């Protein structure tokens, strides 16, 4: 059983398109996150939701819009994709904000051409 699953695994698209990445966790956690890993492997938080409420919104362009329909799901929609958006996007979850381990999905490799 996959604990944190995200789809698709790979996403290749052209500049200007809109795309979505979906994430689901079956760990019963109440907090979910989106992290971005760039080409140099640097990981940076983008968003965090606790019980469907947005609690962290880093300096991310407003072309990125997260949505959490329930505490087990956190999706990421990206409008007007740019070359610089190419990266690996990881979904993650934890129980509570900072008192338990973070569990990552397997990542979505986004390539914008």
Interface residues with other proteins (CB under 8 A) are: 31, 33, 40-45, 48, 50, 55-56, 58, 88, 90, 94, 96-104, 106-107, 109
Nearer to other proteins, 48 or 75 (CB): 48
Q: From the CB of 71, what's the least distance to other proteins, in Å?
A: 14
Residue 4 falls in which region: left (phi positive, over 0), alpha (psi -120 to 50) or beta: beta
Long-range contacts of 86-89 (CB under 8 A, 24+ apart): 86/39, 86/110, 86/111, 86/112, 87/36, 87/37, 87/38, 87/39, 88/36, 88/37, 89/6, 89/21, 89/34, 89/35, 89/36, 89/37
Nearer to other proteins, 14 or 99 (CB): 99
Q: From the CB of 63, what's the least distance to other proteins, in Å?
A: 21
Q: From the CB of 16, what's the least distance to other proteins, in Å?
A: 27
Nearer to other proteins, 18 or 58 (CB): 58
């Amino acid at each position: 059983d996959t604990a944190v699953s995200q789809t698709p695994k790979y996403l290749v698209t052209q500049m200007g398109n809109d795309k979505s990445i979906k994430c689901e966790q079956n760990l019963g956690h109440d907090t979910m996150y989106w992290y971005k890993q760039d080409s140099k492997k640097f990981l940076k938080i983008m968003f965090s939701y606790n019980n469907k409420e947005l609690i962290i919104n880093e300096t991310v362009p407003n072309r990125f819009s997260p949505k959490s329909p329930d505490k087990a799901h956190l999706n990421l929609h990206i409008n007007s994709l740019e070359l610089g958006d190419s990266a690996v996007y990881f979904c993650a979850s934890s129980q509570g904000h900072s008192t338990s381990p973070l569990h990552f999905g397997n990542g979505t490799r986004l390539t914008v051409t």
